[in-house]
Amino acid sequence: MPHQDPVERRVVVTRPGRRTLAHARLRSRGRYPHTSGYYRPRTEIDEQTTLGDTYVRSLMRSQLRAALTVFAVLVLLVGPLPLLFASMPGAHRLEWAVLGFCLYAPLVLLARWYVRRAERNERDFVRLVEDR
């Protein structure tokens, strides 16, 4: 009989972790004193339940949306510049003026908008989680 090497089998996990199920079971049986109908979002996040995961994913989506918006505006603002500069080969002063002065203000405004948007997203998330 030929010698066969043991083959590793792949295992697919299809249910949530035990910690999440145990907490959900205890909550459903009324073992926690704070389960009087309303469960705080902060606790959902701390216990890593499905609802808590949804809250966190919502924050991440809103932050990603703001970042992609900034990226799109940046591509539209800076992307055509090489074509513009290539179409005017002798205008080196124009290139420096556009890069040094005309582009600086929109980039600062774009960065300021992004920071304010990200802070507002975080503030809204904290307000939701803290139940204010």
Number of folded domains in the chain? 1
Contact at 8 Å (CB) between 121 and 66?
Answer: yes
Domain membership flag for residue 56: yes
Overall pTM > 0.85: no
What's the rounded Cα separation, in Å, for the pair 61 and 53?
12
First-to-last alpha carbon distance for the chain, in angstroms, is: 72
Domain containing residue 82: 18-130
Position 14 scores a pLDDT of 65
Position 6 scores a pLDDT of 63
- Name 21's Cβ contacts closer than 8 Å, sequence gap at least 6: 15
Domain membership flag for residue 62: yes
- pLDDT tens for each residue of the chain, 132 residues long: 556 556 666 666 565 555 555 555 455 444 444 444 455 666 666 666 777 777 788 889 999 999 999 999 999 999 998 888 889 888 888 888 888 888 888 999 999 999 999 999 999 888 887 765
Contact at 8 Å (CB) between 10 and 94?
Answer: no
Position 20 scores a pLDDT of 53
What's the rounded Cα separation, in Å, for the pair 58 and 51?
11
What's the rounded Cα separation, in Å, for the pair 2 and 93?
79
Domain membership flag for residue 63: yes
What's the rounded Cα separation, in Å, for the pair 107 and 99?
11
Position 64 scores a pLDDT of 95
Domain membership flag for residue 57: yes
Q: From residue 7, give the alpha-carbon distance in Å to each of 13, 113, 117.
A: 19, 55, 52
Domain membership flag for residue 8: no
- The DSSP code sequence of 80-115 is THHHHHHH-TT-HHHHHHIIIIITHHHHHHHHHHHH
Position 92 scores a pLDDT of 81
Domain membership flag for residue 11: no
Domain membership flag for residue 1: no
Joined tokens for residue 22:
């145990």
Position 96 scores a pLDDT of 84
Domain membership flag for residue 93: yes
